[in-house]
Structure 1
């Protein structure tokens, strides 16, 4: 899966936005451990794919405050990405478990 890092970033962003729609991009960048620019790029990609939408807080004193809401397509995409990453991580886990067993055999441990 060549665009795996991008899809993983999208999944992380979708999960965080679902949990906290009012999070700022700066807070999101901090929570993800990525730059603000990369966060903005990811948000724009999710917006252009129709997976999230922005809604202005009309009652907010901060008129630049937005909520990022998952669209129905975003909810479906998040579920699909979650299933795919779970399957991938289970495969990685099994491969790692086999390698550990092999190393234990080589080391003479039981």
Structure 2
């Protein structure tokens, strides 16, 4: 379960620096990469964060995380 403090911290980081990777988010939050991934998926499922893939980018694994107001 995602607690409010973690949710707030992640949303704040995404609002301030939307170009961070999951690895960078995990480091900034002081959590494992797996937990950062889990937290992002939970926020996406709730509709608080949207993801977008850059189709023309040669690195097809690059996603953007967009904070939803």
Alignment-derived partner of residue 29 in structure 1: 26
- Cα distance in 2 between the residues matched to 1:11 and 1:31: 13
- Moved beyond 6 Å, runs of 4+: none
Task: Say which structure, 1 or 2, has more relative contact order (CA 8 Å, 6+ apart).
Answer: 2
Alignment-derived partner of residue 59 in structure 2: 62
Provide TM-score, normalisation by structure 2. Answer: 0.88
Provide TM-score, normalisation by structure 1. Answer: 0.58
Paired residue total: 69
Structure 2, unaligned stretches of length 5 or more? none
User: Greater strand percent: which structure?
Assistant: 2
- Cα distance in 2 between the residues matched to 1:18 and 1:25: 14
User: Greater helix percent: which structure?
Assistant: 1
User: Superposition RMSD on alpha carbons, in Å?
Assistant: 1.6
CA radius of gyration, larger in: 1
